[in-house]
Structure formats: C-alpha cells, structure tokens
Structure 1
Amino acid sequence: MNATAPRHRILAVDLDGTLLKDDRTVAPEDLAAIREARAAGVYVTIVTGRIASGALPTAREVGIDTPIVCADGAQLVQPATGELIARKSLPGKATRAALTVFSDRRLTPFVLTHEAIHARRGAESLAPWVIGWSPELRLHAPEELAWPELRDVAIVLGIGNRDVAGNALDELGQSLPPSAGAVAFPMGSDEVWGVRVQARGCTKSAGLSALAARLGVRRTDVAYVGDWYNDISAFAWAGRSFAMGHAPQDVKRHANEVLRATSESGGGVAEVVHRWL
C-alpha cells in the first residue's frame, strides 16, 4: 500500500501590525501558535515591507527558519544566516532618475539597499518615518555618498508633503524606465507622504508565490494574514486570507475572513492557526 504524501502548507504573516503589536512585541499566544504550526509541519514565514535587516531580528526571535519575504517581494532571505537567496534590485538608471526627481521636487531621499537605509546628514529629523523599514540607518556627508554607486538598491524613498509627493509621482511616471514603478502613500499622517520607487513586479504576492514554488507548496495550501494596503496582493493570491481586526475597511474587503484580534491586543496569528489548522 502506498502511503499518502504529506500535505505541505505555508502560513505567511505580515510583520508590523500583525505579528508585531503596536508596542513592537509579539503576543505570547502568537509565539505559541507559531510553534504549534511548525510542530504540525507547516512552513511559517514572514512577508513584510521591511528590508532584511529590519525583519531578521523578529524572525529569529520567534524561531522561524523558513525563508522570509522582505521589501515587498524584492528579497528572499534565509533567517539563520541572513543570506539573500533571491533579490530584485533597482537598475542604476532608475535609481538616478528617482533621486533627480526627488531633488528637483525637494523631497528628502532615502536609499534602501538590501542591508541598510542610506541618507545624507541632515535627514535625521525624518528618521522616525523610515526606521520601520530597518533600524540600520547610515548617514553620509554629501561628499561621501555617491548615490548611483550604491549596490543592490531595493527601494528609493522620497519624503515630503502630500502635494509635493503627488507632483513627484507624476514626474516619475515620465522619467522612470519601464523596469521600475512608483507609488505615493501617507506615512501614518496625511501631512507626511512618501514616494516609493522599486523594481516593477515587486509585490508581496510575487514574493510569496516564489517562496511557495521553492518549497513545492500549492497556492491553495497557503494562508496569509495582514493588515495594510500592501497586503492586498497577497490576500488575492493565497488560498485563504485573513485581515486583522483593525485593518482599514477597504483592506478588509479583499480578505476571505476578518479576525477579532487587533494590533493592540495581539493574537491574530493564534486566531488564524486555530481557524485554519
């Protein structure tokens, strides 16, 4: 008699506002649920907008050993070693075009490589808006920093007010090469906006799809939980999707189910594990 092949599954969780509570801690019940899922043979991973250096500490803290998806799909990283298994970097032409537009429009630029955030000295006042991507913020004197020579650029970010960000986005639509795209978004305040430039095709769904293919897991056997607009593509791709209770209404409507747990209470991952497994 042939034994039935084991069914491989993936539980993919967003980081900020999902696994990490508002106070940047992991709820004990979520940590226990990750252990329970792993004991049941489920691959548990993180799928986040953070770059690798900003996501690895939490992955290691909760014991995740499956590769994690970072920078909204631009990076696939092995937690134990920090090795970049796969990366999708911005071409130098796109990096230069973005920095030119940001300079012309007086947006403060930040360049996120696969390891750290780079900025010119004087940008410290905006640090609270960017360290969510990574605590590794490296400030340079203007003469020390040759922006186009930075390697492995994952994201070029410009920060300013809403009107300036909108104007920059329009200009980027004309100046970026086809290999790159840009989006504008509020950074937790309607007064402070960011414009993000990234290699085209970098989405959480693309990163999660690549990971599933690598692990030999069917799309229908993937569950995803998140809370924000950049999670919508992963909601659509995963076989089963869950939105946190505090997520905006126009994010919730893209998920299969809405959880009771919020980023204040924690427990969203535990709730998913109990519903799904």
Structure 2
Amino acid sequence: MPPYRLLAIDLDDTLFNNQLGITPRNREAIRAAQQAGVAVTLATGRMFRSAQPIAQLLNITLPIIAYQGALIAQPQTGDYLVHRPLPSKVAHSVISFIKPLDFHINLYLNDKLYMQQLTVYGRRYAALSGVDAYPVGDLVSFLADRAPTKLVAIGEPPEIDRLLGQTFPILSRVVHLTKSKPQFLEFSHPTATKGQALEWLAGHYGFKREEVLAIGDGYNDIDMVEWAGLGVMMGNAPEPVKALADHVAPANYQDGVADTIERFVLNELA
C-alpha cells in the first residue's frame, strides 16, 4: 500500500488543462491510484452541480469538496455531508458593500447560480462552469433571510485586487475571502475553506494527516496544501503560492497531476 491513502485534487488550472479537459494520462493515473486502493476526492471552488459530472466521469465515490469547502457532498446521490453557508445578514452586508462599486456578483443558493442580471461576466462564468444562470433583480431582496453557500465578485484583475484591499479590513472577521482566479473574489463562511473541509473529510473516513496528498494551484488552495501530509502546487501556480508547497509539479498543461501520482503513489508500488 502506498504511503498516501487519500488524494485531493483541485480542478481548474490543476486537473483541467488550458482547454478545460482532462488528458488521458491524468485519467489513467487517477484510475491506477484508485485500483491501488487510494481514495480520491475533488476539492474545487466550483458549484457541486458543476463538479459532480467530473467526479462521476472519474468514478470517484468519496464525497467531494465544492464551493471552496463550504459544501461536502456525495457525487452519486447528491446528499450533503457538510454545508457551511454564509449567514444571510452577513451576505446582505457583503452585497450592499460591493454593489455600489459596479462589480458583477454571483450568488449561490441551493446549488443554483443567481445574479442581478446577465452581464458579460455572468454569461462567461456560466459557460465556464457548464451551469445555467438565473437573473433575479435585486439580490438582497431575492435572498431575504436565506443563507447562500457563497458570493463571488467578478471584475478585471486589478479591480479585484483593489476590492480585496478594501474589503479585507472590514469583512475578514466575518467571512473567508479568497481569490480563486485573478478575476474572482469569493466570500464564504469563515470556516468554509478547502483545508478545513479536507481535514474533516480525512477524519470522517479515518485517514491520518500524513496519509493525505493534496494538489492545487491557487491562493484558495493554500490551506489545503499546507494541511496535507504532502502538499503539491502546480508549475503554473503563482510564485508566492509555489513557495509554500512541499513539491512543485509540472504545469496543468504538462500533466502535472499524473506526474505527481506516478511519482508519489504509483512508484511506491513498483
């Protein structure tokens, strides 16, 4: 048995290549790890309904981590194991702060994507995620007292950096803020992180920390990669992110996931 018994893999810019595909080599490495008895999960910022078909394609039976860790759910049945939504009052405050600044805002409720109106950003995001988008007008009125899984502000990267600088001093005590891509700033429950979700999942299934291997590429993957027994960042990750990894794999367009599995899992069986 290889020393790593649980493998957590990010999707965008990690398992996915630049065409949002999964190469045959990556698929075969995951299949070989599963056949060797290694449990595999996905850890993504995507909606569950966006990640679920990928999990099914890869024959993943373990619950998957979605929404940056706000949701852990079974890919076969859709049953929730953990859901950490953003309290409605906090969500109202976030929306009210961002709205005057003219950023596009995504709101996620019951695993559906809502927005005030279908903007260019909204259409592009929905197409990227392979989901439908529902324009509902004023988001605060639409949300009422319900608790969304998360909120995402979308804009040009320099504007998102400025928004992070503006919101962090004000909101960081009540929300978890992270950039999943240069143009996305995400707001979720303070405990809704990939690292905390992976820690819960590992404990739930009896995996020790040192038996967990996690692969990511972004700022939103940092606490997951730091928590895992072996934390791997992709070669296409930002330099500050790569500096925090135990190992830097080849880039997502160079089958970095397969290289990692072959090096640290499958070679242990040879």
Scaled by the length of structure 1, the TM-score of the pair is 0.84
The aligned runs of 1:212-251 (5 Å cut-off) are 212-251=202-241
- State the secondary structure of the residue aligned to 1:37: helix
1:275 alignment counterpart:
263
Q: Which residue does 1:146 correspond to in 2?
A: 141
Greater mean deviation of Cα atoms: 137-146 or 56-65:
137-146
- Deviation readout 1:205-230 (Å, 9 max, x if unpaired): 10100100111000000001111121
CA deviation map 1:27-55 (0-9, x unaligned): 11111111111111111011111121111
Q: Give the secondary-structure state (helix, strand or coil) at the position aligned to 1:242.
A: strand
Looking at structure 1, the residues matched to 160 and 23 of structure 2 have their Cα atoms a distance apart, in angstroms, of 39
Alpha-carbon offset, residue 163 of structure 1: 4.6
1:85–1:234 Cα change, 3 Å: same
Query: How many residues are paired up?
Result: 264
CA distance in 1, matches of 2:53, 2:21: 12
Q: In 1, are the aligned partners of 2:136 and 2:142 still within 8 Å (CA)?
A: no
AA of the residue aligned to 2:245: A
Find the counterpart in structure 2 of residue 263 from structure 1.
Answer: 252
Instruction: Please give the secondary structure, in 2, of the residue aligned with 1:82.
Output: coil
1:180 maps onto 2:175 in alignment: yes
The question of whether the paired residues in 2 share the 8 Å contact of 1:116 and 1:134 is answered with: no
Q: Contact (CA 8 Å) 2:194, 2:223: kept in 1 or not? A: yes
Structure 1 runs not aligned, ≥5 long: none
The answer (yes or no) to whether the contact 1:8–1:217 under 8 Å persists in 2 is: no
In structure 2, the CA distance between the partners of 1:186 and 1:12, relative to structure 1 (3 Å rule), is: closer
Match of 2:13 in 1: 17
Corresponding position of 2:57: 61
Instruction: Report the structure number with the largest CA radius of gyration.
Output: 1
The answer to whether the Cα contact below 8 Å between 2:176 and 2:190 also exists between their aligned partners in 1 is yes
The answer to whether the 8 Å contact 1:109/1:157 transfers is yes
Structure 1 counterpart of 2:65, which letter? V
Report the more deviating stretch, 77-86 or 111-120: 111-120
Note the alpha carbon deviations across 1:133-171, whole angstroms, 9 max, x for none.
733232224279833237441211223454576357535
1:150-229 matches, within 5 Å, as 151-161=146-156, 162-163=158-159, 166=162, 170=166, 173-174=169-170, 176=171, 178-183=173-178, 185=179, 187-188=181-182, 193-229=183-219
Specify the alignment match of 1:131 in structure 2: 126
3-state SS, counterpart of residue 96 of structure 2: helix
Q: Which residue of 1 aligns with 2:113?
A: 117
How far apart in 1 are the matches of 2:55 and 2:123? Answer: 22
Q: CA deviation at 1:11?
A: 0.8
Whole-Å separation in 2 of the counterparts to 1:46 and 1:136: 18
Distance 1:163 1:85 in 2: 36
2:231 maps to a residue whose letter is S
Residue-by-residue CA offset, 1:176-220 (whole Å, 9 max, x unaligned):
59442434x4844xxxx4432211122111010010011100000
Match of 1:67, as an amino acid? P
Partner of 1:69, secondary structure, is strand
Q: TM-score, normalised by structure 2?
A: 0.86
Q: Deviations over 1:88-142 (max 9, x none)?
A: 0000101111111122222222102241210122x33112553377332322242
